[in-house]
Amino acid sequence: MAKSKSMHDRMFIMLERWLRKFHRAYINIYEKMTLEEFEMVGIKKDDRVLHIGCGPIPNTLIVLARNIQADYTGIDRDREAVEMAKEIVKEYGLDIKIEYGDALTYPLQDYDVIVVSYGVEPADMVFERIRRDARKDARIIYRKQWDFMDRIYGRKSIPHGYEIMAEHNRRDLIKSYLLKIK
């Protein structure tokens, strides 16, 4: 099952790099879905939002920044993805900070909302770090595959030390949880 997940991740990265040419259409497809997902978060104007694993097409950040005023930062530990993401954000003329960064070392304490992309690894260590170092009132978005896909990709449980505040099933087979640190 870990092999299936790893292959899926590699294929998704390759797909996003190919989709770079069509990023506007790609982002538009995800716009409504992302806005519906983030209704449960209630992002406010003075919120600082960190997206861990923003990838080469930071569609979540672009959709949010186009529709909800806040301070947005995306990090990824793939330098090529970071450079591509910076180029795309620049094309949109949005005020989104994209940086090379690892969730295990990146400063977390100033963020009100932390989004952890599906596929960020090592997930257990990332969530332990967030639990330990993020603000206790931070709103955490945890994305995983829908439950019926657990047989293919392995069961992903809610990280230890968190409470589920809300959940949302996206149409792209991703389940999103709004978590609170216990």
DSSP states of 49-68: EEEET--SS-HHHHHHHHHS
Provide the token pair at 86. 């910076």
Residues 6 or more apart whose CB falls under 8 angstroms from that of 57 comprise: 16, 19, 20, 23, 26, 27, 84, 85, 88
- Give per-residue pLDDT as tens, 10-39: 555 566 665 555 666 667 788 999 999 999
**Helix (H), strand (E) at residue 21:** none
Q: Which of 88, 35, 39, 96 minimizes the C-alpha distance to 65? A: 96
The total number of structural domains that make up the chain: 1
Give residue 9's pLDDT. 52
Q: Can you give the pLDDT at residue 173?
A: 74
Range of the structural domain that residue 73 is part of: 2-181
- Which pLDDT does position 2 carry in this prediction? 44
Strands in the chain per DSSP E: 48-52, 71-76, 96-100, 113-116, 139-145, 162-169, 174-181
CATH code for the domain in which residue 171 is found = 3.40.50.150
Contact 182, 162 (CB under 8 A): yes
SS3 143: strand
Q: Find the largest Cα–Cα distance for the chain.
A: 42
Structure tokens at 140: 């955490």
Q: What is the pTM of this model?
A: 0.84
Residue 1's pLDDT band (cuts 50, 70, 90): very low
DSSP 8-state class, residue 39: T
